Structure 1
Amino acid sequence: MKDWFMATFNSNPLSTKVARGIVKSFLMQHAVPEEDVWDLEIAVNEALTNVIRHTYRNEHDKIIKLSIFWNEGEVEIFIRDYGEHVDPRSLKPKPPDPEREGGFGLYIIHRVFDSVQFLNVYRGNLLILKKRLRGRLP
């Protein structure tokens, strides 16, 4: 079964809560185990937070688009911003370090998703996240 959902948010940090709720509802409709839903919610939250903090520099009036696609056990999540291009080579996940606070977002995203692709697109950036869930459904 194929399914999809799209939403547009402003770059206010409170929007991440709404986005997490959308991701959770969408995945629960497809009988994704709660543990996987939680992991995917957190990773999407980290991705959106990175856009807000780094790409939009905490400006709350910018646009973020979230698209979720389901295709027979695989979820694809697209996060689109309209900020300055980010050099994908500079996006290196850093493993947790007890001596450092924060900065684990990319690490979490890469641990949760099977595929993480970051692209510069016309007037902005596109993050494509994929996770295969087949075989884990009840």
Structure 2
Amino acid sequence: MDPKLSPAWIGVLIVPMLIMMTMAYVVERRQRRRDHEDGVLLSFDDLRLTRTHLLVGSGPDARWFPLGGLSATATTTAPPGHDADEVHVIIENAGCDIRRRLPYSYGSSGDAQMFAIKFNLLAGHSSAAARGGDGVGLRTDQSAA
């Protein structure tokens, strides 16, 4: 017997995929619209950065933290007992730290570094953030101040 896909089977396979793709598109557009309304410059996981605030979460229940007094670090670590590296972003505050981690990839590592640098620049830690903490990437015509 020669198996053939009938139009009904093709519909059963294709329609759910189209519905999921449409839902993902709508959710992404809604998040982009919300980010635009909030003035979000950059995001990492559920951390969103505006010129003056850090937003944790999304929607009406998102927490807003002023950037003054906060600092961010991005690191890559290998957790004990795991063979995969992780990327960590830590927002340090006098009260409590906000920590986020993602599985390591070049993209997540670069996103974490970019988020931490932009965060520290906006929070007023410009000299250390511009040098990367150790002077790497400092142009020769820049002052070390």
Which protein shows a greater Rg?
Answer: 2
TM-score, structure 2 length as denominator?
A: 0.28
Higher-strand-fraction structure: 1
Higher relative contact order (CA 8 A, sep 6+): 1
